[in-house]
Amino acid sequence: MSERNALREHDRFMQEVNRKRGSIPTPIKDQTFMDAVTAWRNAIAPHLSPATVRQRESYLRTHILPRFGDSAPQALGIPALQQFATDLRKTLSRKTVVNVLGTIFVILDYARRCGTVVSKVSFSGIELGTETNEPRVAFFTRDQAARIIAESGEPYKTMFAVAWVTGLRAGELLALGTADVDFQRKTIRVNKSADDNTRQIRQPKTKNSTATLPMPSALEAVLRNYLEHHWQPNPVDLLFPNRRGTHPRWRDNVVKYGLKPMLKKLGIQDTNTGLHAFRHGLATELAEASVPIPVLQQQMRHADVRTTLKVYAHVIPQTQRDAMERVGTFSIGTDVPIGT
């Protein structure tokens, strides 16, 4: 071992000793948390979906790097991250704080795999409290979705119909090509997503997002009519290209010029309501219909079944209503005045 490498290893060893003693370590040259972020950006980020990278970059820019950019990776232990989480919870929801910490953890994990000394931390060691003010999730009911689709002009009519029936995320919807629509097998293939910033077409959110979804007969009729009478051939073969036919549409423009005016016209709540409301609406509709969890998870392409279970958590299926009606009638009786 060269003298230089020996000094580096000695520095690593002493920093680990200091960490265990409670001392604040100073970063080794070229091994700050910012350096770990740069390595992650170069090696890992290009393989992630645009939405995931956009979210994590936002957390890094807004919350993480101002606090830990110049710190040594091993300084990000339980005490530092617990205080960080406590400070964030003063203004952010529990879910957002979980996502911010998750961004730190994936970067530290990659740094560790690259040989950098990091602290062993996980969610189990950090107290985040409970969510006392869960934000409302916007979703369309079946009736609202039907009215929106019926009143919209093309290409929004077909776009919204696909969004409602399949539950595609906005980027996946705008990245669809005509080759993804298979009328013979009556399926729609999902294997890519459009980046809302660059409009580049990349891989979808997770590997579970890649799937072949069924095409109901009603949607088949809508798509056939759109392709025959409204769709224009374009060099990139997109199903819903921009007006020049060169790129996917901007999601914000679809919401601004296609969805919001229709919501206003129909008197439907439009605050914090975007294309994702179709996806949440479909999930809610399926949960209300008491669809088995594996079927709902497969249709929505959730990587974690816990995400699917959250759909059921905010829905009271009709079967549950019926069961409680029967139990309530049996236990209380119909002739007992309320309050006695």
Are 256 and 177 found together in one domain? yes
Are 36 and 153 found together in one domain? no
Examine residue 46 and state whether it is found in any structural domain, yes or no.
yes
Tracing tokens 């549950």 back to the chain, one arrives at 320
Q: Output the six-digit token pair for 267.
A: 């008197």
Examine residue 10 and state whether it is found in any structural domain, yes or no.
no
Give me the CATH number covering residue 97: 1.10.150.130
Tracing tokens 């709902």 back to the chain, one arrives at 296
Are 180 and 95 found together in one domain? no
Examine residue 9 and state whether it is found in any structural domain, yes or no.
no
pLDDT digits (tens, 9 = 90+) for 204-240: 766 778 889 999 999 999 999 999 999 999 998 999 9
Residue type (1 letter), 336: V
Please state, in angstroms and rounded to a whole number, the distance separating the CA atoms of residues 129 and 160.
38
Are 204 and 279 found together in one domain? yes
Are 178 and 243 found together in one domain? yes
Domain boundaries, position 29: 19-125
Examine residue 90 and state whether it is found in any structural domain, yes or no.
yes
Are 182 and 46 found together in one domain? no
Strands 193-194 and 201-202: antiparallel
Please state, in angstroms and rounded to a whole number, the distance separating the CA atoms of residues 334 and 203.
57
Examine residue 321 and state whether it is found in any structural domain, yes or no.
no
Examine residue 305 and state whether it is found in any structural domain, yes or no.
yes
Tracing tokens 């006695």 back to the chain, one arrives at 340
pLDDT higher than 50, residue 336:
no
Q: Output the six-digit token pair for 199.
A: 């409009």
Examine residue 29 and state whether it is found in any structural domain, yes or no.
yes
pLDDT digits (tens, 9 = 90+) for 270-290: 888 999 999 999 988 888 888
Please state, in angstroms and rounded to a whole number, the distance separating the CA atoms of residues 182 and 199.
24
pLDDT of residue 321: 61
Q: What percent of the chain has pLDDT above 90?
A: 50
Say if CB 202 and CB 50 are below 8 A apart: yes
Are 171 and 95 found together in one domain? no
Residue type (1 letter), 124: S
Say if CB 145 and CB 278 are below 8 A apart: yes
Give me the CATH number covering residue 304: 1.10.443.10
pLDDT digits (tens, 9 = 90+) for 45-82: 988 877 788 889 999 999 999 999 999 998 899 999 99
Are 115 and 173 found together in one domain? no
pLDDT digits (tens, 9 = 90+) for 242-278: 988 899 999 999 999 999 999 999 999 888 899 999 9
Are 173 and 308 found together in one domain? yes
Are 104 and 229 found together in one domain? no
pLDDT higher than 60, residue 117:
yes
**Total domain count, the chain:** 2
Q: Is the peptide bond before 248 cis (omega within 30 degrees of 0)?
A: no
Residues 6+ apart with CB under 8 A from 70: 27, 32, 33, 34
